Every structure is written in structure tokens, then in C-alpha cells.
Structure 1
Amino acid sequence: MKMRVAWLAALAAGFAVAFSHTAQTQSSAALTGRVTSIEEGPMEGVLVSAKKAGSTITITVVSDEQGRYRFPSGKVQPGRYALHIRATGYDLDGPQEVEIAAGLTVTADLKLTKTHDLAAQLSNSEWLASFPGTEQQKGSIRACTHCHTLERVARSRYDVDKLTSVIERMSTYPQLSFPQMIQKLVAPRIGGGEDPLEQRQAGWRRQAEYLSSINLSSAPQWSYSFKTHPRPKGRAAKVIYTEYDLPQKTRQPHDVIVDSQGIAWYASFGEQILGKLDTKTGKVTDYAVPLLKPKMPTGSLAVRFDEDENVWLGMQFQGGVAKFDKKTEKFQTWSLPPELNGDHVQINQVSPEHHRVDGKVWLQDAGTYTVLRLDPKAGKFEVFEPYKIPRPNIYDVISDAQNNVYFTVFGRENIGRIDAKTGKIALYPTPSKNSAPRRGMMDLQGRLWFGENRANRIGMFDTRTEQFQEWAAPTVESWPYDATADKNGEVWSGGEFSDRVLRLDPKTGGIIEYLLPRFTNVRRVFVDNSTTPVTFWVGNNHGASIVKLEPLD
């Protein structure tokens, strides 16, 4: 979705902003002001972003209950900045730029007006909340967001026949495709069993019939009203965001992790690129990931550290895993043997965090919905089959301190466990049916935290007591993709559809939702526990950027 971005240019007093300058005190802001509108007066929860001319870094703050925003002097340096806002239902009354001078506080009061194009500002979750139709109908189109926004679909004018052909064509794209970089599947997955063409064609037709009822194929305007979510307030407005642009629009930072030196690492979801981001300067260094299967789609999904902070990658359709040694800056790769390495293979996940225990690394194959274990020294793979074909989608693998592995069953509502010594497999159902556990992490207490994608919940499985707990996301259609615990016992997640970061206090059940500065296809989430307060990181998978969230409490 192309969020409507209102850019500002300081031309004269009396436009959308009033300027003044005062000398800074030691704790004063470099840029501040009030956000108001005729409809609401002072406006809380408006995201105000500032980007210096020629920079790749954008800083965003949120207005408080008096409508005041402030950029701390330590976050913005002297220079000319373009400003924009995010406040669903509103635009800035004209474009604006502001000049920040050393030692002075610039005051810029912003006035907002009602937008004429609300559709351009809706998140995917707001589109889903707005669409008429049954849960089954909406469920049939959620996967569209793997590659593009729902706004793209809703604005189309295609009828049923045209949409059917489009859906059939898009079924040949892997999930790592998106409008900036299209790739084609070479072979379908086999883990789910046979998928007869007649059934697929009937499914495409049903999708097309539903989509043609909610797009603009039969009328110039939508027949349904838009439902929007409230702006942030209270603690959700006490936050600073830093967004780093990546070098190319084709970069998809699906997974972002941060090492002990404060360097952020990411792999491009659709390219053979491992990226290193210097978070102080914004400089990005690219490393070319080896190509194992030249005729197959490119890109990596999982990015995880081992005990030495070497970076491991799940190489997807390349049929293997890679290890990047940060000291030597060299890759080592392991390919599945030929008898396991068909064109359907998709090694998405890898879990090297506890490989010192027995010298083994766990991984997952999305092509067969199986779990594998690699002996890196011997180059040998073992295959574990928790289910017989037709299998549900086994999505993530997460090792514990003994290097047993837990796996999430996205195709159902199970957490699974494989004993590292005996190979015994156990399955545990979540309280919510069809919850679709997706990605997760193990905390130091042996609790597995994960996103329950279809149940709209954050889940926790205590591996010692074998008991679950669940917490519902406040915003409907959030679809938490992942979850991770921080050093304070709080848990962080991200709404795949809502552009909101969730901060859960498990003791009280309270959840704070931080709205991100722009449309963000949220996937893997990461918390840096070396900072106080902790720092949250996420990649904008379709926006070619990396976002850092710093809570102010």
C-alpha cells in the first residue's frame, strides 16, 4: 500500500505551520510543536517524521495528549529536514520543510485537514475489518498480503474472469515475490499431498468472485464504509522510531537481528544478499550469499546467531543452509543430498543457537513439511517426519538449552518437540483451535513464545510444565507473526497486518500497541536487551527499510 505521505516546504507564515526559534537548554528539544485540526483541536497520537536532506535515516516521534511533539536534540543534527505525518483520516495542510540550527529549538506547529483519500491510508487489518463477507471469504484472500497490500486489490477494476486469470498467474509465484521483484515457482510443495487442478481452479474462481464484490469492478466507489483503528495514546505515544533505508527497493529484510556490537544483520527475502547495517551511521554493507541451485528462486528467510554470533541463514529454494563467519567474512554452506534436494525443497528455518551441545543444527523444509538435523562437520542430514502425507505446514524450529527442538505447526494448532537423544516426537495442542503457531523464541526459563497467526494471539508454552497461556491482540486482524521475550519479562510481537508492535506484560495481561510510522509488512521481530530500556527491531519487508523502536518508559 502506498501510504499517503504529506511532505512540507516552509514557504511563508500562514500555511500549515508556524515557526519560531529559541535557545536550547541542556534537556530541550531540537524541534517541537503542536499538532491540531479544526475537527479535534490538539491531536494526540499523530506520528511526526523528520528526514534530513540527503540522509537515509528518518526519525519519528508521537504527539502527546496536548498535541505536542518533540524531537530530542540528540536524535536530529543541524540541517534541512522534510516532515511528514501518519494520522489515519488526516493530511497535512500543505508541504513543509524545516531548518534545524545548532543550539536552537525550532517550533513548528502543524495543522491537519481531513483527507480526501482515506483508502490510501488504511492498513491491511483495516481493509479486512472493512470488507463485507464471511470469515471463510476473508480467509481466502489473506495470503495476498505475502506479496502486496489489500489496497492494491480493492482498487482494481477487474471482473471475475479477469481476476481468476490473475489469481492463477499469481499462484505460480513463491511467497518471496513482490511487485518490485517477481520470481516464479519451479515446482509445488509436496508435503500437503495431492492438490488436483480442478480443486485449485474452483478455489481461484471463488476468490475471484469474492474479490470482484469488494473492488471497483462494478461501481466507481466502494459500497462499504471504511473502519479505522484509533490512534496511539498514553504509553503508546511515548516512543521514538528510527528508520533506516536500505540501498535498493528490492531489499526485503524479512528477518533482522542485532549483535552485541549494535550492528544489525538482515538477509534479503528474495535476493542472495546478507546485509550489515551500521546503526550509528546508517551505512549498509552487502555480502553476496553463494548460489547453490542457479535455476531456483533466490533469497533467504531465517537469520539467526549461533553461540559465537556467526550468522546462519535458511536458504529457501537454494536447498541448504549457510553460515557467515563475522571474523573472516566468509560463507560456508551445506546443501541437502540429491535424494532430498528436489525442486520442491524450501529450507526456510534454521536453529543454530545451541549447536555446541552436540554439534548439530536443526532446520525445516517447507517443501516437504519435515524437520531436519544437520551435522556440520560430517555434512550429514537426518530427516524427522512428525506427520505422514498429507502433512500440515511445519513452520519454525526453535532449539532449547539441551538442543532438543520445538517446532510450530502453522497448518494446525500444535507445538511439537523432538528429543535430541532419542528422536521421540511429541505434539501439544494450543488452547485455541486452528491457531497456526508461526515463529517464536525460547526464553531463559524454558518458555517458548510464539505468534498464533490465525488466532490473533500471542502464545506461550512452558516446556517444563507442558502448559500453555494465550493473550489476545487488542486490534482485530493483527495476526501476530512472531514473539520474543525481553530481559524484563515483557514480550514483544508484531501485527503482520496492522502495522502495530505489541508489548505484552504477562503478569497483568496488559498490551501496549505502538503504531509504526508507515505501512510495514511485519515478519520476524527482535529485541536488543543490551540497552535500557530495551530496543525493538523489525524489518519493513515490502518497504526496503529497517525500523528501530525505542520505548521511553
Structure 2
Amino acid sequence: MSRRSMVVRFVGLLAVVYLAAADPAAAQQAAPALTGTVTAGPDALEGVLVSAKKSGSTITTTVVSGKDGRYEFPAGKLEPGVYSLRIRAVGYDLEGPSEISVAADKTTTADLKLRAAKDIASQLTNAEWLASMPGTDTQKGQLLNCVGCHTLARPLNSKYTADEFLTQILPRMQGYVNQSMPLHPQLRRAERLREERGDQRVQVYRGTADFLASINLSSHPTWSFELKTLPRPTGAATRVIYTEYDLPRESIEPHDVVVDDRGTVWFSSFGEQYLGKLDPRTGKLTEFEIPEHKPGFPTGLLGLRGDAEGNLWFGNMYQATIARFDRKTETFKFWPLEGDENIDAAQINMVSPQSASVDGKVWAQNNGFAGIHRLDVASGKFETFEPFKGMSGPHNIYDVVPDSKNNVYFTDFRQRHIGRIDAKTGKVDLYETPTPNSAPRRGWMDAQDRLWFGEYRADRIGMFDTKKEEFKEWVIPPKWSSPYDVVVDKNGEAWTGSMLSDQVTRLNPATGETINYLLPRSTNIRRVFVDNSTTPVSFWVGNNHGASIVKVEPLE
């Protein structure tokens, strides 16, 4: 071989190596750490979630079997060691193996065998219970108020009669605050203003009580209706990797999860007085304790958002306090409500500092009386707005989201309104979503001043163009998806999550096409976050009732 031929061959080899390193698809062709085929009898199964957790670790990695039933864990995702395995595929249980050893620099093969589940009911999501049970959409819609604290499996498995629901269970449930869960219930100290009272409330309870008693086990040894399941993931929904980080206490509820510019994960603990910090490389958790400003009142934080300087702001809910956390000094500053505004029902959930650099003011809502506060950060003084004062109701201001000029837009969760308060004049404008009773919930403002929001009772994502004053809506499957929050990524795709189906939905607004990624276990999705620093983008969410944080990495 001539010297020139050798040089050409060497340069060509370098080019191949370079292209393989630069191309993620080529990198993924490296030999997997763990692979195998998922079968039930003679059939290979697509869409089975396979999870592997190393002995002694707090991190679980999950992949999904493809059309041929094959699953693969990339080499970089599993260290050598002994792993426990589990699967998620409604209607099936794992027959074996349930444990496997992964060696270094070698592919381990484990073919998984599934058998028909002995107890399908225990595998159903809230959405599948709603699809299965008889009744009208109005009757079923009452149960959307229940899933914030527990799954629908609880009332469906109960044996309470209608009278017991009416006189004991429903009044007791109403007495708990919305950050409660069975492990950590907290009592409400005061009713929200303008809620139903007396006989009116009894009538509301009566309909719910009668419906629950007709579908639970109070008069039958088993349910009188067929249990229906959603289809397993297919196609693009199987090309994804999940990483789940366990938190050290079951009582931790990571409601809002955000990732900062350093890749550090932060979360608000929904029922406890802690701000959490997670290192995703090691799984190490650091908690910053928050003092109580109203001792004896329910604890917990909600909305977690950053300002232009990278500080984190949140509402301390029934502690009636706006809080700011300086990431550089790791210190808090607090602005508690004072005087007549600090009523027992005061509940500051959402705080929005995104455009505070415009005028030095931060917006927040008060769920205790459908109010909105504006905090002057320098003076510490509050202004209060009541957009629905004097109007028939009920109304519930759920989220406040500023535009680029720090005018604030708000969602009316009890109705169908999107509202606007002019930052300079205080003028209030109200707009109705195209779908009645849509219950707009959490929202996000994009760079074009378009407000994106979840329509919880309409199974839709909504978008309000604040400049054109026009709405657009997209249906999010399946029925009873009940989107909670929406964020748009750098590619213009919208992401949301379901408290009912455990699915994360990726929407292409231009085509209306959706991809539903099923999470590895029951998750109770709330706030959603997209990390645009990765390619493809990655999605983060807190498992609010499972004490974990989940990262979703689509492979395309």
C-alpha cells in the first residue's frame, strides 16, 4: 500500500470516528448494558415499561419495549451491579426474572416473561377508573376534585353507603387542605370565602354521595361494570428513557420541579416547610427549612418560579407569605401578608416574578378570596385586586402569569375566564375560553406574549394570544387527561401532564399531533418543566404522591 493510500485511509477512519461521536444516533448504536425481549406466552409485547434499580441506589432507570418486544438500556445508563427489575403494563405481572446482574463492558441479556395480572383493578389509573365506571360526564367530573389528595381506587374500593358518604366521608374530606394526602393529612382552618354554604352544600354532597355509593362495593362483592384499560405506548412513545430519583421521606411532595442554569434540580415541598435541592448526577438531596409565619396553620409551598437574576420565588400557601430564595447566598427573604388581608383563609399559592425587572413588582394570587396581590419588592407594600368582586360566582383565581410588560394574566379555575390586569391603570378585562366550564389551571407565557394553559375539565391545552386577544385550543387524548400545566419548548412543541392518566403529552401545535409518554408508576403529575439545554429537550416532573422526581428523555 502506498504512503498516499495509507494517509487517505487514515483520514477516512478519523472522519468515521468523528461522525459517530457527533451523531447521537450513532452513539446509541453502542452495545447496550442490558437488553432482552418481553413476551407473554408466544407473543412479543410492545409498550412495556421495564425499570431497573441498582441495589442500594435511589435512582431507577426505565426504558420501553419496541414493536418487536425488545428493550435496551444504553451502556451509559447502568453501572455494573445487581439490579431489581419491575414492569408497567396494565393487565400483566412480571413472572421473571425480577433480579439481574449487569457486568462491566459487557451486554447482559434478560428475556422477561409476563403473565396475566391477578388484580387488574390495582393497576388502573384514575383515567381508567373514570372510563370504566358508568355515569354521565357531570357525575364523573365531580371526582376530579378527589385526585389531588388520593387515587380514585380508594372510594371505588370502599363499602360506604350514600348516607355514610353524605354525613361522614364527604364533610371530612372537605375539611382537609388541598396539599393533604393519606400519609400526611392537614385540616383546613377556615373556609374559602364565597363557597357554597348550608343547604346548598348538602345538596351538592347528596348527588356525589349517591353516585359514589352506586359504583363502589357497598352493595356488590365486586364492581358491576367492566374494567377498561388504556392502550400501551406504541411507536414514538416507546423511544424514551426515564430516570426517577427517590426522595428520603414518603411525606415529601415535590409539587413544582425546575432545573436551573447549572443543571441543579429544585422543588417546592407541597406539604412541608422545605425547599428542596437535588443533584441529578448523584441523587443527593439538600433541604432548606422555612420558618412558619402562622404557627398552627397548614404547612407547604406551591408555585416555584425564577426571576431575571436567578432567584427562586414561591408562595407559602396557608402561611400567607411570599418568599424569595437567593441561590448564591442560600438565604430566604419573606413578605407575609398583614392586617385585614391576612385572614384565616388566606392562601398564597402562585408567585410570579418573571417580569419584575420591568417595574420592581411581583404578582401573586390569594385563593382565600379570589384575590390578586402585587408586591413592591423595594418597599414591601402590597396592592390587592379583586377582579370578581360583586360578580356572581363562584370563582377561583388559580394562576397569575405576567407578560413582557408585567401586566398580569390570571386563570379562573371555577369557570372559563382568562383575566388581565393592566400594570399601569389597574383596569381588569375578562375573556372566556371557547370551551365552557374548561377550568383553566396553570399557565406559561411565551416570548411572543402568548399565554399557554391547561384546561383541566376540558381535556385541552389552551393558548391566548394577548396581542390579538384570540384563543386557540387543542384536544389532549385520552378522555379524562385533564391537563394541569403547560410549557412550550425551544422547538415550539407544547408539553403537559395528567393527574389522572400518568401520561406526559407532547403536542405539535402546528399539526395537532400528540405523543403520550406513560410514566413508570403512579405519579400524580402537577407542574411541568422542560429543560431546553439538552438535545432533544428533556422533561421534568415531581411525583407528588410518590416522593420522587422523574426525568423524561425522548430519544427523538
Structure that is richer in helix per residue? 2
* In structure 1, distance between residues paired with 2:545 and 2:394: 30
| Corresponding residue for residue 487 of structure 2 | 484
What does the per-residue CA deviation read over 1:232-287, in whole Å, with 9 as the maximum and x for residues that have no partner? 00001110000011110000111111101111111111110100000111101001
* In structure 2, distance between residues paired with 1:505 and 1:112: 34
> Quick check: 2:54–2:60 contact (8 Å CA) kept in 1?
yes
The answer to whether structure 1 residue 395 and structure 2 residue 402 are counterparts is no
Q: How does 1:462-473 map to 2 (within 5 A)?
A: 462-473=465-476
CA RMSD after TM alignment: 1.3
* In structure 2, distance between residues paired with 1:549 and 1:406: 29
C-alpha displacement of 1:141: 2.0
| Corresponding residue for residue 351 of structure 2 | 350
What does the per-residue CA deviation read over 1:120-168, in whole Å, with 9 as the maximum and x for residues that have no partner? 1100000011111122211222211111000111111222232221111
Letter matched to residue 232 of structure 1: P
The answer to whether structure 1 residue 109 and structure 2 residue 129 are counterparts is no
Instruction: Give the structure-1-normalised TM-score.
Output: 0.94
| Corresponding residue for residue 10 of structure 2 | none
| Corresponding residue for residue 413 of structure 2 | 410
> Quick check: 2:97–2:113 contact (8 Å CA) kept in 1?
no
Letter matched to residue 72 of structure 2: R
Aligned pairs, number: 527
Flag as ranges the 4+ runs of structure 1 deviating above 3 A.
Answer: none
The answer to whether structure 1 residue 79 and structure 2 residue 81 are counterparts is yes
Letter matched to residue 237 of structure 1: T
Instruction: Pick the aligned partner of 2:57 from 55, 72, 84.
Output: 55
Letter matched to residue 91 of structure 1: D
Secondary structure at 1:299 match in 2: coil
Letter matched to residue 501 of structure 2: S
> Quick check: 1:270–1:299 contact (8 Å CA) kept in 2?
yes
Query: Structure 1 residues 379, 51: closer, same or farther in 2, change over 3 A?
Result: same
C-alpha displacement of 1:26: 7.6
| Corresponding residue for residue 272 of structure 2 | 271
* In structure 1, distance between residues paired with 2:261 and 2:533: 7
| Corresponding residue for residue 5 of structure 1 | none
Moved more, 308-317 or 134-143: 134-143
| Corresponding residue for residue 145 of structure 1 | 147
Secondary structure at 1:162 match in 2: helix
Instruction: Pick the aligned partner of 1:496 from 499, 506, 511.
Output: 499
* In structure 2, distance between residues paired with 1:391 and 1:36: 52
Letter matched to residue 175 of structure 2: T
> Quick check: 2:147–2:499 contact (8 Å CA) kept in 1?
no
C-alpha displacement of 1:429: 1.2
Q: How does 1:105-254 map to 2 (within 5 A)?
A: 105-164=107-166, 165-190=168-193, 193=194, 195-254=196-255
> Quick check: 1:290–1:331 contact (8 Å CA) kept in 2?
no
Letter matched to residue 443 of structure 1: D
C-alpha displacement of 1:391: 4.5
Secondary structure at 1:145 match in 2: coil
| Corresponding residue for residue 462 of structure 2 | 459
* In structure 1, distance between residues paired with 2:162 and 2:507: 43
Letter matched to residue 142 of structure 1: L
| Corresponding residue for residue 516 of structure 1 | 519
* In structure 1, distance between residues paired with 2:264 and 2:40: 40
C-alpha displacement of 1:292: 0.6
Moved more, 423-432 or 275-284: 423-432
| Corresponding residue for residue 13 of structure 1 | none
| Corresponding residue for residue 8 of structure 2 | none
Letter matched to residue 196 of structure 1: R
* In structure 2, distance between residues paired with 1:173 and 1:336: 23
Percent identity between matched residues is 57
Instruction: Pick the aligned partner of 2:451 from 442, 448, 453.
Output: 448
* In structure 1, distance between residues paired with 2:413 and 2:195: 19
Query: Structure 1 residues 336, 96: closer, same or farther in 2, change over 3 A?
Result: same
| Corresponding residue for residue 434 of structure 1 | 437
Higher Cα radius of gyration: 2
What does the per-residue CA deviation read over 1:84-122, in whole Å, with 9 as the maximum and x for residues that have no partner? 000001111145100001011000000111111000110
Letter matched to residue 99 of structure 1: S
* In structure 2, distance between residues paired with 1:477 and 1:70: 32
* In structure 2, distance between residues paired with 1:465 and 1:243: 41
Instruction: Give the structure-2-normalised TM-score.
Output: 0.93
* In structure 2, distance between residues paired with 1:66 and 1:379: 61
In structure 2, runs of 5+ residues without a counterpart are: 1-26
What does the per-residue CA deviation read over 1:35-68, in whole Å, with 9 as the maximum and x for residues that have no partner? 0112x71111000000011111100000000000
What does the per-residue CA deviation read over 1:298-330, in whole Å, with 9 as the maximum and x for residues that have no partner? 001101111111111111000111001111111
* In structure 2, distance between residues paired with 1:429 and 1:186: 33
